[in-house]
């Protein structure tokens, strides 16, 4: 009886977290997101000048758990992951120069940006890792950002979520600054 109540509480908690995650997720339409993707050599040269003249910036390490163990270390619960980068400044854009995903062994798995992007004030961008990817318990993102003016630091987080049968789990990991860019 106690075990079934605990299972039911875990299921409800996971479902509520899923609803919260969906309701908080940034919509990705042209009307809802002001993110300018710069393409071409001329634009890249302009962005390189912007990055070189940046006033502030950081390199951020963001933990990602592509699975967690349960019951014993032989059973894993796969999780999808979402990297969220939120510009918290009311007036100034920031530049996302690098978004790289590494696996448990520190091997580069995927480069998410071919060219830097600009994130408008109060806008967000996100990057997704599917649940079927086996990055390991020690996978991570490395994010580099910069800005021409002094800005509020962005919020850089990973959100992990997984559902299976009557179980669900979700949690958030905050990014940690590992070095200032300037």
Dump pLDDT digits (tens) for 5-46.
444 444 444 544 444 444 444 444 333 333 344 444 555 565
Q: What is the pLDDT at residue 2? A: 45
Q: Which CATH class is domain 2-27+55-180?
A: mainly beta
Residue 80: closest CA among 67, 71, 92: 67
Is-above-0.75 flag for pTM?
no
Q: What is the pLDDT at residue 41? A: 57
Three-state SS for 92? Answer: coil
Q: What is the pLDDT at residue 53? A: 58
Q: Calculate the CA 119 to chain-centre distance.
A: 14
Which one is predicted more confidently, 1 or 145? 145
Residue appearing with tokens 């912007």: 50
Q: What is the pLDDT at residue 134? A: 76
pLDDT score of 52 more than 90: no
Q: What are the backbone angles phi and psi of residue 12, rounded to the nearest 5°? A: -65, -45
For range 134-163, the mean pLDDT: 94
Which of 37-41, 64-68, 161-165 has the lowest average pLDDT?
Answer: 37-41
Residue 95: closest CA among 40, 63, 141, 49: 49
């Amino acid at each position: 009886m106690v075990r079934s109540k605990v299972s039911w509480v875990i299921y409800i908690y996971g479902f509520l977290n899923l609803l919260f995650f969906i309701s908080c997720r940034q919509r990705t339409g042209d009307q809802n997101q002001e993110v300018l993707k710069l393409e071409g050599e001329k634009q890249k040269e302009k962005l390189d000048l912007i990055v070189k003249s940046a006033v502030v910036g950081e390199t951020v390490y963001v933990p990602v758990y592509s699975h967690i163990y349960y019951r014993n270390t032989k059973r894993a619960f796969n999780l999808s992951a979402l990297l969220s980068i939120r510009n918290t400044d009311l007036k100034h854009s920031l530049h996302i120069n690098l978004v790289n995903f590494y696996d448990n062994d520190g091997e580069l798995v995927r480069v998410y940006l071919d060219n830097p992007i600009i994130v408008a004030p109060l806008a967000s961008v996100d990057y997704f890792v599917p649940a079927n990817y086996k990055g390991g318990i020690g996978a991570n993102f490395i994010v580099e950002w910069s800005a021409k003016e002094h800005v509020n630091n962005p919020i850089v987080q990973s959100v992990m979520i997984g559902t299976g049968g009557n179980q669900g789990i979700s949690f958030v990991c905050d990014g940690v600054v590992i070095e200032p860019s300037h």
